[in-house]
Amino acid sequence: MVFQWPQLLWLLLLIPALVVLYIIAQRRRQKYALRYASLSLVKEAMGRGPGFRRHIPPLIFLLGLSVMILALARPSAVVILPSQEGTVILTIDVSGSMAADDVKPNRMEAAKSAAHAFVERQPTQVQIGIVSFSDNAFVVQTPTDDKEAVYAALNRLQPQRGTAIGRGILTSIDAIFEQANDEPNFGARPTPGPTPTPVPVPKGQYAPAVVVLLSDGESNVGPDPQEAAQTAVDRGVRVYTIGVGKPEGTILHVQGRAVRVRLDEKVLKYIADLTDAEYFAATNENDLRAIYEKLSTQLVMRTQKTEITAILTGIAAALSLIAGFLSLMWFNRLP
Average pLDDT, the chain: 79
Residue 289: its pLDDT value, please? 83
For the ranges 71-85, 208-222, 282-296, 310-324, the lowest mean pLDDT is seen at: 71-85
CA angle 92/246/275 to nearest 5° reads: 50
Residue 246: its pLDDT value, please? 73
Residues in the chain: 335
Give residue 182's pLDDT band: very low, low, confident or very high (50, 70, 90). very low
Residue 27: its pLDDT value, please? 77
Strands 126-133 and 86-93: parallel
Residue 315: φ, ψ to 5°: -65, -45
Reference 242, options 187, 291, 174; nearest CA is 291
> 3.40.50.410, 2.160.10.10, 3.30.750.24, 3.40.190.10: which CATH number matches 84-299?
3.40.50.410
CA distance 242 to 290: 12
Residue 257: its pLDDT value, please? 73
Q: Is the pLDDT of residue 188 over 50?
A: no
CA distance 242 to 114: 12
Could you tell me the residue ranges of all domains in the chain?
2-78+306-331, 84-299
User: Taking the CB of residue 225, how many other CB atoms lie within 10 A of it?
Assistant: 27
Q: Which residue has the higher pLDDT, 30 or 310?
A: 310
Q: What is the DSSP string of 33-85?
A: HTT---HHHHHHHH-SS-GGGGGHHHHHHHHHHHHHHHHHT-EEEEEEEE-S-
For the ranges 34-43, 74-83, 238-247, the lowest mean pLDDT is seen at: 34-43
CA distance 188 to 142: 8
Question: In this structure, are residues 215 and 243 in contact, taking their beta carbons and an 8 Å threshold?
Answer: yes
Reference 245, options 214, 222, 269; nearest CA is 214
Residue 168: its pLDDT value, please? 95
For residue 50, cis peptide bond before it (omega within 30 degrees of 0): no
For the ranges 43-52, 159-168, 250-259, 267-276, the lowest mean pLDDT is seen at: 43-52
- Predicted confidence (pLDDT) per residue in 31-65, tens digit: 665 555 455 555 555 545 455 777 788 888 899 99
Q: Which residue has the higher pLDDT, 201 or 159?
A: 159
Give residue 187's pLDDT band: very low, low, confident or very high (50, 70, 90). very low
Q: Is the pLDDT of residue 318 over 80?
A: yes
